[in-house]
Structure 1
Amino acid sequence: MIHRSYMLVAVIVSMVLTADVMARPWSPQTDETTSPTTDSSLDGTASPTPAQPKPNAPTATEIAGWIEDLDADAFATRVRATRLLVRSGADAITPLTEQLPTFGREGVTRGAYILRQIAISSKEEQHRQAAVTALETLATSTLPTASRTAVSVLNDIYELWFKQAQLRLRQSGAIFTTTQILTTKNTRESYPSILFGGQWHGTIEDLALIQRVTNRPHRPTNEQY
């Protein structure tokens, strides 16, 4: 659903924004924009580790063991488990979601970090969405630490997706601006807008990114482009 304070001003044929187009998967350009809140110390790497398929996928038993290790006493064990679970990708989402509410603060933080890495690095849209859904579930937890951590990570993901989509749309010729509208109360209100004109040279897939820009649950108040 597009945020009510958004107004799209587009000089393009409306049929390009069909449900089929909006549903097409999009792989985030993680090399163009990085998140300021990435904590590489959690998995001992200098940069986010993409969730990539491995020749020998880990077993459910191995994944369960790594999840338990997120709360281990030894720091090196926790770091190793974090790294291995990030590499496990989508296979780790369900068991991790089930276990996270039982962990202490560091275990929850590491679990949320793993889900974040899957959400921003996976090449599969369904895996990215599954990781976000898991975080949304964690955000409803009655445990304050788990809830706050999940909300913080979700905000981070949404903001990163927004910046990636905005950058790609701008590179394709879209203009981000602010439009003033005269309201029924005879006052003018400003709305963030996206203009598509003669300078637009993007593709239908690029247009699908509009949902990343407009569908931000925690968009800053009075945002200006």
Structure 2
Amino acid sequence: MTPCRTLSLLGCLIWGGIMVAPVAHGDEPADGSPTKQPPTSAQITSWIDQLDSDKFLLRENATQKLIGAQQAAIGPLADAVRTGSLEKAFRCIHVLRAFAIGDDIETEIEASAKLALIAATENDRVGAYAGDVLKRIEPIQRERAIRVLSGLGVKFTSYAPMQGFQGLDEGPGIWITNDYTGSAKELHYLQHLDFIEDVQIENDKITADWFAEIAKMPSVHLMTIKDGPVDIEMLRELEPLFLKLNWLRLYYLDLKSSPAAMLEKMTSLHHVEMFGIVIDGKELFQDPQQQERIRSALPGITTTDGLKFRSGGFLGVRGSADGNRPPCVVQSVDQDTGAYKAGLRGGDTVIEVNGTKVEGFMHLIELLKDKKAGDKVKMIAVRGTETKELDITLGKWQLREIY
């Protein structure tokens, strides 16, 4: 029989001819009587023995009771796969499958691990079937992960490069900001997001456990970490991603020790930005020795554009594609930035900053890279025939925008 998957009006899942009810805490058993005591080991063993009974209703009843037993049944079910008939093995796998797509995280983790073990160790139809089940539940786990994480405040984004703002890779991503109301426990669902390439983090409550969960994501190759109580020990939890990362942005972190040894392991990096970073009490931008140590740890990055150090002042404008030539024409200005609030707009030509003539857009960036968030700059810009004198307060670099 070809396995099929539908959801009936009664909320039961039909899979390969076996009716499996979804896992839900607090549900009553199939016979409608209230749950009073957790099942004993003897009861679980008895139900497993009934899975290959010659009576269909007995098999179905045992299946539903095992689902009601929840986490207590996982170990015995996995062990029973190797004993008895093919019918019993398949029904054990289906009950484990129900746990793997349920709403309890611990139960899902354990059941998924058991299914993976069965798929890896059983070199027969049972192992192949367990592997097939794992593949088939991936979309279900992914959809549930999106639903749960979105409900907890994780933002899902997609990016496209903007004209004049070079160096942005395309790819779907997520933001984990202070809007996130969950804990490290719920971040377990991140590992089901195999389509996510970019993770951006700006959260005051972040812990090492958060990074440990993020490190399980299968397809991440871009990472931005901004603000928050982040130190080197926490960043080391990301080690499973080290060889995958192509882009790394570290903004406004107070690190107690050098990240050089950690960066040395990230051999696939081709772009690193370190803005507003403090290492052992000293600003990185003002520490040439520490900068050189970091450069030496990243021999694969050979251009100055690939490794950037700045004090962290953010103007919030984009310029022409040929930024090395005059004039310095502003193409767009991000809203909610000091530049926008001061009156700078797209189409303006910047001619002077803090008394220095601006030769081009890249020169403007160079003039500002030693400025910190909160610093004030005086700018002269031309709009048509009108000259404007602007007092701008620089902000912090932002997470990549949602397009």
Q: SS of the residue aligned with 2:52?
A: coil
Matches within 5 A, 1:1-225: 38-39=13-14, 42-43=18-19, 47-50=21-24, 52=26, 54-121=35-102, 123=104, 125-170=105-150, 172=153, 174-177=155-158, 191-194=171-174, 201-205=179-183, 208=187, 209-214=189-194, 215=216
Q: Distance in 1 between matches of 2:75 and 2:141?
A: 23
Identity %: 23
What is the TM-score with the length of structure 1 in the denominator? Answer: 0.61
What is the TM-score with the length of structure 2 in the denominator? Answer: 0.37
Q: Distance in 2 between matches of 1:133 and 1:173?
A: 26
Q: Provide closer, same or farther for how the CA distance between residues 52 and 153 of structure 1 changes in structure 2, counting only shifts above 3 A.
A: farther
Q: Provide closer, same or farther for how the CA distance between residues 161 and 104 of structure 1 changes in structure 2, counting only shifts above 3 A.
A: same
CA deviations on 1:83-123 (whole Å, 9 max, x unpaired) are: 11111111111111111122433222211111122222253
Q: SS of the residue aligned with 2:44?
A: helix
Q: Provide closer, same or farther for how the CA distance between residues 196 and 160 of structure 1 changes in structure 2, counting only shifts above 3 A.
A: same
Deviation at 1:75, TM superposition (A): 1.1
Counterpart AA for 1:121: G
Q: Provide closer, same or farther for how the CA distance between residues 102 and 175 of structure 1 changes in structure 2, counting only shifts above 3 A.
A: same
Counterpart AA for 1:165: A
Q: Distance in 2 between matches of 1:143 and 1:70?
A: 22
Q: Which has the larger radius of gyration?
A: 2
In structure 2, runs of 5+ residues without a counterpart are: 8-12, 28-34, 162-167, 195-215, 220-403
When the two chains are superposed, the root-mean-square deviation of aligned CA atoms in Å is 3.4
CA deviations on 1:123-181 (whole Å, 9 max, x unpaired) are: 3x32221111111111123342111221122223333221122234456472343668x
> How many residues in Structure 1 have an aligned counterpart in Structure 2?
172
Q: SS of the residue aligned with 1:155?
A: helix
Q: Provide closer, same or farther for how the CA distance between residues 205 and 104 of structure 1 changes in structure 2, counting only shifts above 3 A.
A: same
Q: Provide closer, same or farther for how the CA distance between residues 179 and 111 of structure 1 changes in structure 2, counting only shifts above 3 A.
A: farther
Counterpart AA for 2:90: T
Q: SS of the residue aligned with 2:139?
A: helix
Q: Provide closer, same or farther for how the CA distance between residues 169 and 142 of structure 1 changes in structure 2, counting only shifts above 3 A.
A: closer
Counting strand residues as a fraction of each chain, which structure ranks higher?
Answer: 2
Q: Provide closer, same or farther for how the CA distance between residues 39 and 80 of structure 1 changes in structure 2, counting only shifts above 3 A.
A: same
Larger RCO (CA within 8 A; separation ≥ 6): 1
Q: Provide closer, same or farther for how the CA distance between residues 189 and 109 of structure 1 changes in structure 2, counting only shifts above 3 A.
A: farther
Deviation at 1:70, TM superposition (A): 0.9
Q: Provide closer, same or farther for how the CA distance between residues 195 and 50 of structure 1 changes in structure 2, counting only shifts above 3 A.
A: closer
Task: Confirm or deny: 8 A CA contact 1:165 1:210 kept in the other structure.
Answer: yes
Q: Distance in 2 between matches of 1:138 and 1:217?
A: 22
